[in-house]
């Protein structure tokens, strides 16, 4: 199955020769934990003195559920889910 394409609203050329584009979507899917919006923070202080955050929002439902399933398996917790956010 191919990825759905989103509407390109605006495009500008970048100095490196690539284009930067603004795309609009009908909805985004956000990570939840026990019914609340959530994000995953990774402690990377030993490496570079800070924290890193994993992706917590997806433009397609399928991508979001794939990530949720991986988190459920990793943490052995079924509290992870998705919330659809529409404009």
> What is the model's pLDDT at position 14?
94
> What is the model's pLDDT at position 3?
62
Whole-number Å distance between alpha carbons of 68 and 10:
31
CB distance 39 to 53 below 8 Å: yes
Q: Which residue ranges make up each domain of the chain?
A: 26-85
- pTM for the full predicted model: 0.76
> What is the model's pLDDT at position 37?
96
Averages of pLDDT over runs of 10 residues in the chain (87 residues) are 75 94 92 96 78 90 95 96 95
> What is the model's pLDDT at position 15?
95
């Amino acid at each position: 199955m191919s990825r759905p394409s989103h509407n390109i609203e605006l495009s500008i050329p970048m100095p490196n020769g690539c284009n930067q584009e603004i795309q609009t979507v009908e909805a985004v899917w956000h990570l939840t934990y026990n019914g609340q919006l959530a994000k995953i923070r990774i402690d990377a202080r030993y490496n570079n003195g800070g924290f890193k955050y994993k992706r917590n929002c997806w433009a397609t439902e399928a991508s979001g559920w794939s990530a949720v399933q991986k988190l459920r398996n990793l943490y052995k917790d079924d509290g992870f889910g998705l919330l659809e956010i529409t404009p």
